[in-house]
Amino acid sequence: MNQYFYHQMSEELAEKLDLPVLAYPVRKEKSLGFIFEGKLAICRLLDELDLYLREHPEHVAVYREAIVKLSWLEGLEAGRSGFMGHAAHYLRLGLDYQPQNLSLRAEYAAALLSLNRKQEALTELEFLIGQASGGIEPLIWMLAARLHTEVGYPDWAQELLKDLVLV
């Protein structure tokens, strides 16, 4: 088991990132690498926090909100910069801690689609459709129908589109 130090996030930074003010666990050997070019290296903090929580699952409740928000921020920024593999990794990390987060899941599906990981993207889109309570975006249904056609299930695509018209 690793030894951790706790770094207190400043109230100013926590407010800027819309995070709870917490002391974040960091391994001693990684403690100097969190500021990169004058900015918080969110991916490095996430990696440390994820490792810590896997070693100390009893602390997940304390850090869940933070790891999900940081994963969202890192995933969106990576996606905007064109680093879809990086985006998918951190969006998936957020889902590990909050699997019912539909916004994270939709972004994760988009990242997978950008990586041409069609079957995985389809699985995520189907999950989103399964959670629909009337408020699901029609784009999700149409993307799922397109992917069903591309992976060889045009009948399922037709059913999805028919259901979309009825919704």
Contact 157, 148 (CB under 8 A): yes
Report d(CA 27, CA 64) in Å as an integer: 19
Asked if residue 64 and residue 8 are part of one domain, the reply reads yes
How high is the mean pLDDT of the chain?
Answer: 88
Quote the domain boundaries for residue 157: 119-167
- What is the model's pTM? 0.84
Which percentage of the chain shows pLDDT scores above 90? 50
Asked if residue 68 and residue 131 are part of one domain, the reply reads no
DSSP the chain: ---EEEEEPPHHHHHHHT----EEEEEGGGTT-SEETTEE-HHHHHHHHHHHHHH-GGGHHHHHHHHHHHHHHHHHHHHHTT-HHHHHHHHHHHHHH-TT-HHHHHHHHHHHHHTT-HHHHHHHHHHHHHT-SS---HHHHHHHHHHHHHTT-HHHHHHHHHHHHH-
| Residue that terminates a domain, selected from 78, 101, 116 | 116
Joined tokens for residue 137: 């975006």
pLDDT band at 36 (very low <50, low <70, confident <90, very high): low
Asked if residue 16 and residue 97 are part of one domain, the reply reads yes
> What pLDDT, on a 0 to 100 scale, did the predictor assign at position 135?
59
Q: φ, ψ for residue 61 (rounded to 5)? A: -60, -35
The total number of structural domains in the chain stands at: 2
Asked if residue 90 and residue 13 are part of one domain, the reply reads yes
Asked if residue 129 and residue 47 are part of one domain, the reply reads no
